Structure 1
Amino acid sequence: MAPAYACGCGALVHDPASRLSVDRETSAVRWDGRSEQIVMSLTVAGNAARAAWIMPVPHRATVTLGDNALFDALDSVTAPVHRTRDHFWPRSGDWPFASGSGGDGTSGAARPAGAPAVGVVGRERLGPFDVARLTATDPGALDSWLRVNGFRLPGGMSQDLKPYVDQKWEYVAVRLAPDRKGGTLTGVLDPLRLSFASDRPVYPMRLSRRARNPQTLGLYVLAAHRMEPRSAIGGLPPEVTYAGRIPSTGALGRFADGERYLTALRQSFPEPSRIDGDHELRRTASDRPYQRVIFEEKLLTVGGLPVWLLTAGGVLVVLVVAALLLVRARRRRPVAPPPPVQGPPPLL
């Protein structure tokens, strides 16, 4: 059976005689209340000459190539800000502990009687990708069609596809091939952009449960408000790494297309087999912004001298002066004369 690797919103399959791993996956989702777009970029490594990526979608999808500049813009906007924070007492690396200075669409419908279990609603070539858009009313039929057309699914994935078939979802099957003949799939693949109707934002994750290794999901969500997953779906609690308004220019502005609030999420799945559904996204209670801050610690100085040293020196001077004044005061204190000597009492 061909192994499968999680791709967040899909499954990557390849020839069992070859190796292929997903080193990094980045996805951006835009939702405007009526439609959804997903742009996904994969960084892969191995010696596979071809592979396939299978992704379920709730409605008929349009597939185009994505903008490579989008993820650079997202990285820039969500990067942590660096701030300097002074500290009073010296720490490791500060004098005197160290010398010098350092630091560093249409929805799917039931098929009429006699219609094929799998329908091809579109097929196109997009750069290095051979994209087929499919409908299926039976997971076994979908599996058979994919095998005939070169997309071999690993055992057990038909069970994972069944919930999507039951909900009459459709599929995007993408054949991946290197740009040059005889080459292998490696490096950053061109991003793909999927657009489909959706009255609620969803990020398909169920197929990722077939992953063999722990998975990490990085997800950017663009909407009118700050968003969050409804549940952890079998992973650790999702972590917000950025939330806030974004500019309307550049690659990010073009993708946002009017949706100006960006939420960046990161989630770990130590045991992918525990994934039990798809991420359904919802609006949070407030649009409170958030951005990570990295503090660079700096010893507090005045005129190049550590404040702690000036303070300690000042205190020492005060103590010395006080001691001198005390000694001086004692020296100047008058000595009281001894009391007169009294003789014996008179005799009566």
Structure 2
Amino acid sequence: MRRLWAVAAASVLLAATAAVAPANACTCGAIAPAPGAAVSVTDESAILSYAAGVQSIQLSLGVESAIASAGLIIPTPSPATVVAGDQKLFQALDEQIAPREHQVDDWWGNMVDPRATTEPTVLASTSIGGLEATALDASDLAGLAAWLGQHGFALTPEVSAQLEQYNAKGWYFVAVALTNDDHLDGRLEPINVSFPTTSLVYPIGLTRATDQQRSLRLSVVSDHRVDVVQAGSSSAPLNAAERVVWAGPVTEKPLAALGSYLTVVDLRFDNPAAQVTTDIGLTFSPNDDVVEHTVSVVRPIQLLGFPLGTLLAVWGALGLLGLLGAIIARSRLR
């Protein structure tokens, strides 16, 4: 089975996550608020694409906070650049997977309708609206924590422990300062984080910093239907509850520019600290079977304000009675 990243055409992965209870670790990174402050990620949408050896993650977060700033740490396997994201892609996804109406005729009227220190190297920094994004080469996690502290943000011990797995692999990090005039409640403008890589990967290792249930929706646009697997494997399944909720040809134009087939998979981690052992990888499915979500819309079939099925039944009964009466009358004439 070919790996998804081997496809020449761009492919896209969109992920929407929601925690059962607020947590400071979103799925692909970790929130680092000011010391003593609390910032909760209420939902997360990410778009991951791969073309010409470069992977891009467009990220949109919903947060709850009483403070006006916080930090977001995203590990990347190579130095990253950050630019503004495209909100139209998220809107197109909603349109693409919205339930299609399935009309049900009602004839009867009874149907219901996220050490000694060496400071990280700043590779690039950019401003995007109310966001400040900095790409970092941070081989020393203690130095990374010190740098964040100097800029007003802090990592929890749980998140710091999970960053070690990416530090050991020589990955890089993106620090995003989430700022606002008043507070951070609501949805932030999306950002696009891109980096060169030879293997398509969605980093979820920092999710192990929480023991709260996490729900994750992965929506993949490619040329074929795909399966989610453990990163680095062509077939090993993720240790999560998994369900394909939508699969089929793309019809929304913003998404069609990225691929012709959309796969939407819901994942649930009841205990991320124990279940999340690898990042997420993608492979092609053995088939392109279609799975669509429909919603039944009752269409009353009436005549003169009465259910037509009921009227037909009554008329049929009356007709039979009339026929029976005619037969009896005819037999008496004989």
Asked if these proteins are the same fold (TM beyond 0.5), I'd say: yes
Q: Which residue of 2 aligns with 1:81?
A: 100
- After the TM superposition, which segments of 4 or more aligned residues of structure 1 sit over 4 Å from their partners? 251-254, 302-305
Q: Which residue of 2 aligns with 1:215?
A: 214
C-alpha distance in 2 between matches for 1:70 and 1:92 = 37
* Pair 1:310 & 2:311 matched: yes
C-alpha distance in 2 between matches for 1:245 and 1:197 = 26
Contact 1:28 1:219 in 2 (8 A): no
* Pair 1:69 & 2:74 matched: no
Q: Which residue of 1 aligns with 2:67?
A: 48
Query: Structure 1, residues 170-198: CA drift from partner, whole Å, max 9, x if none?
Result: 111111111x2xx2112211111011122
Inter-CA distance 243–117: structure 2 relative to 1 (3 Å threshold):
farther
C-alpha distance in 1 between matches for 2:158 and 2:37 = 20
Q: Secondary structure at the match of 1:225?
A: coil
Contact 2:246 2:290 in 1 (8 A): no
C-alpha distance in 1 between matches for 2:25 and 2:193 = 18
TM-superposed deviation, 1:309:
1.7
Q: Which residue of 2 aligns with 1:244?
A: 249
Q: Secondary structure at the match of 1:153?
A: coil
Letter of the structure 2 residue corresponding to residue 282 of structure 1:
T
Q: Secondary structure at the match of 1:276?
A: coil
C-alpha distance in 2 between matches for 1:32 and 1:303 = 60
- Correspondence list, 1:70-149, <5 A: 70-92=89-111, 118-149=120-151
Contact 1:31 1:201 in 2 (8 A): yes
- What residue ranges of structure 2 are gaps of 5+ in the alignment? 1-21, 231-236
C-alpha distance in 2 between matches for 1:18 and 1:147 = 13
Inter-CA distance 296–28: structure 2 relative to 1 (3 Å threshold):
same
Q: Which residue of 1 aligns with 2:189?
A: 190
Q: TM-score, normalised by structure 1?
A: 0.76
Query: Structure 1, residues 252-275: CA drift from partner, whole Å, max 9, x if none?
Result: 466x3xx33333333333333332
Q: Which residue of 1 aligns with 2:46?
A: 27
Letter of the structure 2 residue corresponding to residue 293 of structure 1:
T
Query: Structure 1, residues 201-240: CA drift from partner, whole Å, max 9, x if none?
Result: 2111111222364322233323333222115644321433
C-alpha distance in 2 between matches for 1:31 and 1:303 = 59
Contact 1:33 1:199 in 2 (8 A): no
Letter of the structure 2 residue corresponding to residue 298 of structure 1:
R
Aligned residues: 303
Letter of the structure 2 residue corresponding to residue 224 of structure 1:
D
Letter of the structure 2 residue corresponding to residue 220 of structure 1:
S
- What residue ranges of structure 1 are gaps of 5+ in the alignment? 94-102, 104-114, 334-348
C-alpha distance in 2 between matches for 1:120 and 1:4 = 28
Q: Secondary structure at the match of 2:315?
A: helix
Inter-CA distance 326–261: structure 2 relative to 1 (3 Å threshold):
closer
Letter of the structure 2 residue corresponding to residue 270 of structure 1:
D
Contact 2:119 2:146 in 1 (8 A): no
- Correspondence list, 1:164-203, <5 A: 164-178=166-180, 180=181, 183-203=182-202
TM-superposed deviation, 1:39:
0.5
Inter-CA distance 36–301: structure 2 relative to 1 (3 Å threshold):
same
C-alpha distance in 2 between matches for 1:124 and 1:240 = 37
Q: Secondary structure at the match of 1:70?
A: helix
Letter of the structure 2 residue corresponding to residue 306 of structure 1:
P
Inter-CA distance 244–68: structure 2 relative to 1 (3 Å threshold):
same
Letter of the structure 2 residue corresponding to residue 22 of structure 1:
V
Q: Which residue of 1 aligns with 2:33?
A: 14
Query: Structure 1, residues 293-315: CA drift from partner, whole Å, max 9, x if none?
Result: 11202233457642322331133
Q: TM-score, normalised by structure 2?
A: 0.79
Contact 2:242 2:266 in 1 (8 A): no
**Percentage identity across paired residues of the two chains:** 28
Q: Which residue of 2 aligns with 1:160?
A: 162
Larger-Rg structure = 1
